[in-house]
Amino acid sequence: MSSNPESAAVASRDLPPLMLKPQEERRIQAGHLWIFSNEVNVAATPLTAFTPGEHVQVRSGHDRFLGYAYVNPRTLISARLLGRDPDYPPGKSLLVHRFKVALAMRQRLYPAPFYRLAFGEADLLPGLVVDRYGSVLVAQIGTAGMEAMKDDILEALVKVLDPEAVLWKNDSSIRELEGLDRYVETALGQVPDMVEVPEGGVVFRVPLAAGQKTGWYFDQAGNRALFARHAAGQRVLDVFSYAGSFGLQAARAGAAEVTCIDSSAAALETAAETAAANGLEAELLKGDAFDMLEALHADRRKFDLVVVDPPAFIKRKKDHPKGLAAYRRLNQLAMQLLDRDGLLLSCSCSYHLGPGELTDSVQRAVRHLGRFAQLIGVGAQAPDHPVHPAIDETRYLRAFLFRVVDSC
């Protein structure tokens, strides 16, 4: 990493300290990046003295340097670590290094430039995600600290990737917890309304500014491939289909018929455009997923292969009881539609739902139906969404493939 050590040392001395209580540095030393408000020695360094996004040098209870971070005194996570090398404080140089390291891993794993380039804490860039669509980048900032570095982020991305266009997709509700406004704006060039993403033999049309989150769910790529491997000759149902990513890849793999359900008319319109452009056919049904599953059951519809890929039902710990019940009901409704020997791919992107809880919800639902389930495949998030071993919160996506048969 190129830098001027002398100027870096001066910059580091200028940053105010954030003192931790005695023994509260252990989690940081183990590799985690978060500092909670109750771990800060507020008598020595009051959190109220800092402005949201301000850079600090984190110091142990014995006044030992632990790293550089940014602070937000308004949130439970009061600071997030950006680096541990005292010679490299936060700034453009550090960001350029982080993006180069992240890019090297993606280039090793992916033959084409379509992937998540930066995945927050897992790429040592807490509060920032960047998706790459060829020469177009979509970036999303979720914290005040990264918002304060917005100009440096853009300059670093230009230096490393030289993109034709960059979109700030800063419309996530999590920004409100950080005291930030929500907005979508072009940062560089002319951002197209749609981009094309090749995956699984299908070229998908993906809306950017008007799409969900940062456009495409790259994290499910491996699970979509797993699903498609079982699709030939099957009747397929894709629930919470968005732009038809599971269903249309199943159609390309030779499914006998494909049905997609989503509540968004715009998403289904995009799915229809992708299907037409690729010479594929799919039945597209708009409506609430739970209502549509009940309606299909009432119509005595049956399927051989079903995927349920809902949004997070458990966004916070307090949502857990209600969310767990929703996962169980969803899986039960889906399994009602499976023929006598069918496959269900059950997914969850709720970090607060443990893997054992999702499989248990399926087991409880299948017993309620008087059927028998076998777990025959396990999926996870794609490698462009790496897991930081010290930060379990980066391990969020779960996918389980069940065979469901009639019991006797």
pLDDT digits (tens, 9 = 90+) for 112-146: 999 999 999 999 999 999 999 999 999 999 999 99
Give me the pLDDT at residue 1, please: 53
Lookup result for tokens 């968004």: 264
- Number of Cβ within a 10 Å radius of residue 341: 10
pLDDT digits (tens, 9 = 90+) for 167-184: 999 999 999 999 999 999
Q: How far apart are CA 29 and CA 32, in angstroms?
A: 7
Q: At what angle do helices 92-109 and 150-161 cross, to 10 degrees?
A: 50
Fold of the 92-192 domain: Transcription Regulator spoIIAA (3.30.750)
The ranges of the chain annotated as CATH 3.40.50.150 are 196-406
How does the average pLDDT of the chain come out, rounded? Answer: 94
* pLDDT for residue 7 is more than 80: no
Confidence bin at 408 (pLDDT 50/70/90): low
Please give the span between the terminal C-alpha atoms of the chain, in angstroms, as a whole number.
64
* pLDDT for residue 3 is more than 50: no
408 labelled catalytic: no
Fold of the 196-406 domain: Rossmann fold (3.40.50)
The ranges of the chain annotated as CATH 2.30.130.10 are 5-83
Give me the pLDDT at residue 312, please: 87
In CATH, the architecture of 5-83 is Roll (2.30)
Say whether 84 sits in a helix, a strand or coil: coil
* Catalytic residue (choose from 260, 347, 349, 408): 349
Q: What's the CA angle centered on 379, arms 376 and 385, to 5 degrees?
A: 175
Cβ-proximal residues to 147 (8 Å cutoff; 6+ apart), any chain: 53, 141, 170, 178, 180
Global confidence as pTM:
0.93
